Homo-oligomer: A and B are copies of this chain.
Amino acid sequence: MLKEERQQYIISQINIHNKVLSTDLSVQLNVSEDTIRRDLNELSESGKIVKVYGGALSKSFHYPFSGRDVYNKDGKKEIARKATGLIEDGMVLLVGGGTTMIELARLFPENLHCTIFTISPLVGLELVEHPNINVNLLAGQLASNSHVVTGSQVISQLSEIRADLCFMGTNGLSLTHGITDSDWEVVQVKKAMIKSANKTAILSIDEKLDSVQKMQICNLNAIDYLITDAAPDSETLKRYVKTVIVL
C-alpha cells in the first residue's frame, strides 16, 4: 500500500469518526505504529488534522464522544454520522427530542451554518455553543417523561414554520404500521413536525425496527429517509428500501 493512500485512508477515518488512534490504524493498515506516527505528523504539519497524544483529531474538532448514556451510544453515534450527511449549508432544520437527537446535536458539523428549531431543550442546549448555528426553542408545556415541549402552542408554532428537513426519533417503526409512539401528546407534535418540513428523516436504532407502539404518527411513505445504525443491505432493512430511502 502506498503512503499516499494510507494517509487518504487516515483522513477519511477522521472525517467519519472525528478521531483516530495510532494503535487502531496500525492494525487496520498493517503497518508499524511508527509509520502511523510519521503519517500523522505529516498530516498535522500540513494542517489537515490535529495530532494529539495517542492519535489525532479532526481539525473542526467537536464533541466526538459522550459517556452520558452508555447504552447504545455507538449505534446512536453511527446514526448521527449518517444523518449529518443530509444537512446542507443554510438549511432550516426541525429537530425532535430523545437521546438519538442529542447524539446528533453533539456530532453536528461545526462549519455548517443553519437555523434549527427544536422541541427539546436538551438538544437546544447542546447546540447553543456551536458558532454557526441559530438555535430556536419552540414554546409549550414541558412533558415530564420525554423532556420535550408539547401542547397546542407547539402545534400552532409549527404551522408557521417551513423547514427544509426534519429529524426525529421514534419508538415504534414497522412496514405495516408506520411510525408509532406511546405518548398521545408526542404523537400530535410529531405529526405537526412532519407537516412543517419538506422532508423528514426518521432516526432509529436497529432494535426498534419492526416494533409497534399504541398510536400511529404516520405511514412509512410519509417519511423520506430512514437512518439506522445497521448497514442498508442488512436483512431487516432490505424490506424497507422500497418505501423509504434507507441510509
Contact, CB under 8 Å: A52 / B2: yes
Q: For residue A55, which residues in chain B have a CB less than 8 angstroms away from its CB? A: 2
Q: Beyond A2-B57, A125-B15, is A64–B138 a contact (Cβ under 8 Å)?
A: no
Q: A136-B142, A140-B137, A142-B135 are in contact. Are A5 and B19 (CB under 8 A)?
A: yes
Interface residues of A in 22-44 (CB under 8 A from B): 28-30
The segment from A65-73, A80-88, A224-232 found at the interface with B is A65-73
Is B16 a contact partner of A57 (Cβ separation < 8 A)? no
Name A141's contact: one of B6, B12, B13, B134 (CB within 8 Å): B134
| Number of copies of this protein chain within its complex | 2
Which residues of chain B are near A141, meaning CB under 8 Å? 134-137
Q: Is the interface of A mostly helix, strand, loop or mixed?
A: mixed
Contact of A142 among B2, B4, B137, B140 (CB under 8 A): B137
Contact across chains for B128 and A142 when beta carbons are under 8 A apart: yes
Q: How many residues of A contact B (CB 8 A)?
A: 54
Interface residue from B52, B61, B142 paired with A3 (Cβ < 8 Å): B52
Contacts of A153 on B, CB cut-off 8 Å? 136, 139
CB distance from A148 to the nearest CB of B (A): 10
6 new A-B contacts at CB < 8 Å, known A8-B65, A15-B128: A15-B126, A29-B67, A122-B125, A125-B147, A137-B137, A139-B140
